[in-house]
Amino acid sequence: MRRLYSSLVDGRGFDLCLIGVPLAFLIVLSGLPLVYNVVMSFQAVDMFSLGSFIRPWVGFQNYRELVAQPEFWPIMGHTATFLAASIAGQFLLGFALALFFWLDFPGASWLRGLFLVSWVMPGLVVGAVWNWLLSGDFGVFNFVLRELHVISGNVFWRSDPTFALWSVIIANIWLGTSFNMILLSVGLSSIPADLYEAAELDGAGALTRFWTITLPMMRSTIGALISLGLIFTLQQFDLFAAITSGGPNNASNVAQYWAWDLSFKQYDFAKGAAISVIMIAVVMLASVYYVRSTRHEVRG
Partner 1 sequence: MSETFRNRLLLLVALALAAVYLFPLYWMYITALKTGSEMFRTPPSFWPDEPQWAIFPFVFQLKGMAQFLWNSVVIASGSVALIACLGTGAAYVLARYRNVWVDVGLFLVLMLQVLPASLMITPIFVLFTLTGLLDFPRTAVVLAIAAKSMPFFIVLVRATFMSVPMELEEAALVDGNSRAGAFWSIVLPLARNGILVSAILIFMQAFGEFVYSKSLIQEIELQPSSVGLNAFMGPNTNEWNRIMAFASIYVTPILATFVLLQRRIVSGLTSGALK
113 or 192: CB nearest partner 1: 113
Burial of 4-29, coded b for 16+ CB within 10 Å and e otherwise, reads: eeeeeeeeebeeeeeeeeeeeeeeee
Distance CA 194, CA 196 (A): 5
62 or 85: CB nearest partner 1: 62
81 or 245: CB nearest partner 1: 245
Distance CA 55, CA 200 (A): 70
Q: What share of the chain is helix, strand, coil (3-state, %, to 5)?
A: 75, 0, 25
Question: How many C-beta atoms lie closer than 10 Å to residue 103's C-beta?
Answer: 7
Smallest distance, Å, CB 212 to partner 1?
23
Distance CA 236, CA 254 (A): 10
Smallest distance, Å, CB 109 to partner 1?
8
Smallest distance, Å, CB 272 to partner 1?
4
Smallest distance, Å, CB 187 to partner 1?
8
Which residues, including other chains, have CB under 8 Å from residue 134's CB and lie 6 or more apart? 141, 142, 157, 158, 167, 170, 171, 243
CA distances from 54 to 27, 40, 95, 102, 249 (A): 22, 10, 52, 59, 35
51 or 202: CB nearest partner 1: 51
Distance CA 280, CA 297 (A): 25
Smallest distance, Å, CB 201 to partner 1?
22
Smallest distance, Å, CB 202 to partner 1?
24
3-state secondary structure of 187: helix
40 or 169: CB nearest partner 1: 40
199 or 241: CB nearest partner 1: 241
Smallest distance, Å, CB 142 to partner 1?
10
15 or 194: CB nearest partner 1: 15
Distance CA 14, CA 224 (A): 34
Smallest distance, Å, CB 100 to partner 1?
7
3-state secondary structure of 266: coil
198 or 265: CB nearest partner 1: 265
CA distances from 108 to 103, 128, 284 (A): 8, 30, 36
